[in-house]
Amino acid sequence: MPGAPLTLTSAQAAQAAEILGARRVVPLHFEHWGHFTQDGDSLEAAFAAAGLGDRLHRLRPGESAAL
């Protein structure tokens, strides 16, 4: 379908996290490429709107975390 997202939108990612019962979500490959239409801020907003903001762990490039 022309214009359809190639990956999950921010809202779809939050919905998937809820459906899967994910306790932690570490997004990868969601910004820094010109063809992406949403960024980390929209991802955080979607998770917050879904009441899942505490599950999202957004890391800076090169950063690691123990989960």
Q: In whole numbers, what is the pLDDT of the chain averaged over residues?
A: 86
Which domain, by its residues, includes 58? Answer: 1-67
Q: Residue 34: pLDDT above 70?
A: no
Render pLDDT for 51-60 as a digit per residue (tens, 0 to 9). 999 999 988 8
Residue 60 sits at φ, ψ, to 5 deg, of -80, 155
Say what the pLDDT of residue 26 is. Answer: 92
Q: Residue 32: pLDDT above 90?
A: no
Q: Exposed, middle or buried: residue 10 (CB in 10 Å: 0-12, 13-18, 19+)?
A: buried
Number of domains in the chain: 1
Q: Give mean pLDDT, residues 34-41.
A: 74
